C-alpha cells in the first residue's frame, strides 16, 4: 500500500528494516510487525496530539483524588501537568497502558496474529474476558462492520497518513517546548518546559 499512502515517495525503506528479520521473521512477518507498529504509534500520536490541545485549555472540573486534589491547572503545560500528578496516578496510567499493550498481543475469536497473516492494527475484542466490557477498543460502536472492504481500505490509508502527521505534530510540540525556537511555527504558542519529556518519573525520583 506504499504507493497509495504516498504516490510521490512510494515504497521507502532507507534503513532496510524489512530485511532485518526480527526474531527470525521472514519478510512477510516483518512487514506485518512493522505495519502494526506504525498503526499503533500513529493512533497513540493522534490521541496525544488531540489530548495536548484539549488539556492545554481544559481540565475536568471534578477532583482528581479522593482527598479532593484538583486536576493540574491549564496554567501548566501538558508535560508540567503530568509532573504535577501524584505518583500513584502515574503508576495507574502506566499500568493501564501496559495492560492494553499486553492484551493487544492476545489474539482469539478466530483472528490470526498480525505477524501470521492477520490484520495489522486490529485490536482483539473483549468478548472473552471474565468481566463484561460494554465496548471494544477497536470499532467500539460497530461502524466498520457495515462498511465495504473498499471503504475499509480507504479508511486504513487515511488512518496511517493521519497517524504519521500526528507523530510529527506531537513531537513538534515537545521539541518547541524543550528547545524554544526549534519549531518557529509554534514559537509563543507552546510553553517552554524544563523537565525531561522522555523520563516520565523524573519529577518523582531519579537514579
| Local structure of 70: helix, strand or coil | strand
CA distance 101 to 37: 11
Query: What are the Cα distances from residue 186, in Å, to 49, 60, 170?
Result: 14, 26, 11
Nearest Cα to Cα of residue 29 among 40, 38, 20: 20
Q: Pull the grid cell for residue 24.
A: 527470525
Residue 128, pLDDT score? 76
Contact 113, 107 (CB under 8 A): yes
Instruction: Count CB neighbours of 97 within 10 A.
Output: 11
pLDDT, tens digit (0-9, with 9 covering 90-100), for 72-113: 999 999 999 999 999 999 999 999 999 989 988 876 566 788
Q: pLDDT (tens digit, 9 = 90+) per residue, 56-74?
A: 999 999 999 989 999 999 9
- 133: pLDDT strictly greater than 70: yes
Residue 73 confidence (pLDDT): 92
Query: What is the pLDDT, as a whole number, of residue 146?
Result: 82
Distance of CA 78 to the CA centre of its chain: 16
Cα gap 45→164, rounded to integer Å:
8
Q: Dump the DSSP string for 101-122.
A: HHHHT---TTPPPTTTT--TTP
Residue 89 has φ and ψ, to the nearest 5°, of -65, -40
Task: Compute the average pLDDT of residues 150-171.
Answer: 93
Whether residue 20 is predicted with pLDDT greater than 90 in this model: the reply is no
- Residue range 162-204, pLDDT digits in tens: 999 999 999 999 999 999 999 999 998 999 999 888 888 887 7
* C-beta of residue 56 within 8 angstroms of C-beta of residue 173: no
170 near 45, Cβ under 8 Å? yes
Amino acid at each position: 500500500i506504499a504507493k497509495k499512502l504516498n504516490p510521490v515517495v512510494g515504497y521507502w525503506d532507507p534503513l532496510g528494516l524489512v530485511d532485518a528479520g526480527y526474531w527470525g521473521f521472514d519478510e512477510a512477518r516483518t512487514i506485518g510487525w512493522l505495519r502494526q507498529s506504525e498503526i499503533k504509534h500513529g493512533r497513540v500520536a493522534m490521541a496525544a496530539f488531540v489530548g495536548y490541545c484539549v488539556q492545554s485549555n481544559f481540565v475536568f472540573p471534578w477532583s482528581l483524588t479522593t482527598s479532593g486534589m484538583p486536576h493540574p491547572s491549564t496554567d501548566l503545560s501538558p508535560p508540567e501537568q503530568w509532573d504535577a500528578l501524584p505518583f500513584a496516578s502515574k503508576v495507574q496510567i502506566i499500568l493501564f497502558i501496559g495492560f492494553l499493550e499486553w492484551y493487544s498481543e492476545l489474539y482469539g475469536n478466530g483472528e490470526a496474529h498480525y505477524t501470521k497473516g492477520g490484520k495489522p492494527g486490529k485490536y482483539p475484542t473483549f468478548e472473552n474476558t471474565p468481566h463484561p466490557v460494554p465496548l471494544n477498543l477497536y470499532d467500539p460502536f460497530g461502524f466498520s462492520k457495515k462498511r465495504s472492504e473498499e471503504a475499509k481500505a480507504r479508511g486504513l490509508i487515511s488512518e496511517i497518513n493521519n497517524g504519521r502527521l500526528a507523530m510529527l505534530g506531537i513531537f513538534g510540540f515537545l521539541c518547541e517546548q524543550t528547545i524554544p525556537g526549534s519549531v518557529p511555527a509554534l514559537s509563543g504558542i507552546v510553553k517552554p518546559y524544563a523537565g525531561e519529556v522522555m523520563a516520565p518519573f523524573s519529577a518523582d525520583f531519579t537514579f
